[in-house]
Amino acid sequence: MIYFRFVFVFLFTTFNCIGQRVTEDDIKKVSVKLNKKIIGIEIDPSSGIKGRGVISFGRKLIFQYDVPENWYPFDDFKQTLVRNLIENGNEKMYIKGEIDVGYFYYKKNKLIKSLIIDWEEFDKLRFNLGEFVELTNHPKSNGLEIKLKRPLGWEVKEGDGPHIVKKFVHEQKIYLIYVKEIGQFFSKDEVNSFFKNDSDVNEFIKGMIGYKGDDFKLKKHKVVTIENHPFLYFSDSEKKERMGKEFEIISHYWVSILEDQLIYFMGSSISSKDYNEFFKITNSIKLLNQY
């Protein structure tokens, strides 16, 4: 595992230094360097896998290993490998360099398992949901029984504000869970009827995002169901400036009143293309007191 880390650091540094699109010649040079470092090295002492060498074919970088007699690949070998690479953030260099990666496994000099992961395949698989993050007993959840899945490779952080329960962070994307007590219980029917009134919804959203002006126009909102409970979806954009460079932050909110708590899930980024990722995280939410 430690050696794997070294290999990835080496690769990452090398390809990052090149800067421009990595050429086939660059990949070949890297494979030669890696080959020298990997041969005979015990990659995983627990399973006895040893490095056999690294070669390149065109834009493919292939890692070869010798495995012991009692080694067999497990059923979902490729998925596990891809998940691990994404989880550790190592897929980035393959996507950035547009490099396919291969893993060949030999037993007594006979190839017993091979797999190639296309860099575009990495890009497609890049957004995958991982395990559930349980929020039910979190002190900031105020007794709400919630869990949701975090995306693989995204960092899970504690919320820094008084009502932010958790944050999932990845590059310039952030997804957070907010819970705040509002001082009275609301039934599901009351929430539904509240969300049917556009004027109430307008005021509610203005209050939520802290809009102070009178010219607020609610652009787009709709009532959606998450786990049997009505939620209000809306998006919002805000222009920002940093070091003279202007950019726009786009935020997507799924907000509701659950029991006596205001709860929202918010995904923010500087790209309008990230909605699907935020949607998938929100779609994984389990409200455990609904069924």
Partner 1 sequence: MMKKFITILISLVVITILIFGLLNVLENKTIEPVRNLSYESNEEIKPYIDKFFRDLTNHGLTPVIPQDFIVKFSDLESHKNTSHTHGISFGYKDDDRVEIYINKNSWNSFNKTQKYYIVYHELSHDILNLDDLNDSDENYGHIMFPYISKYDDLKMNDFIKNMKLLFDSL
Torsion angle in degrees (nearest 10) through CA of 35, 37, 40, 43: -100
The total of other beta-carbon atoms located within 10 Å of residue 206's CB is 15
The total of other beta-carbon atoms located within 10 Å of residue 141's CB is 18
Nearest residue (CB) to partner 1, 118 versus 259: 259
| Of 28, 260, 279, 283, the one binding partner 1 by CB under 8 A | 260
d(CA 153, CA 158): 16
Region at 183 (left for phi over 0; alpha for psi -120 to 50; beta for the rest): left
The verdict on 87 binding partner 1 (CB under 8 A) reads no
Say whether 116 sits in a helix, a strand or coil: strand
Min. distance of Cβ 187 from partner 1 in angstroms?
5
* Site string (115-154) toward partner 1, x via CB under 8 A: ----------------------------x-x---------
Min. distance of Cβ 171 from partner 1 in angstroms?
37
Scanning 45-53, 168-176, 178-186, 244-252 for contacts with partner 1 by CB under 8 A, the matching segment is 178-186
Scanning 42-50, 69-77, 100-108, 181-189 for contacts with partner 1 by CB under 8 A, the matching segment is 181-189
Nearest residue (CB) to partner 1, 190 versus 238: 190
Backbone angles phi, psi at 230, to 5 degrees: -75, 135
Nearest residue (CB) to partner 1, 98 versus 145: 145
Nearest residue (CB) to partner 1, 118 versus 260: 260
Take residue 94 and report the two structure tokens written for it.
């393959």
| Of 40, 139, 162, 183, the one binding partner 1 by CB under 8 A | 183
d(CA 15, CA 10): 9
Q: How many residues bind partner 1 (CB under 8 A)?
A: 14
The total of other beta-carbon atoms located within 10 Å of residue 261's CB is 19
Residues within the interface to partner 1 (CB under 8 A): 143, 145, 183-189, 259-260, 289-291
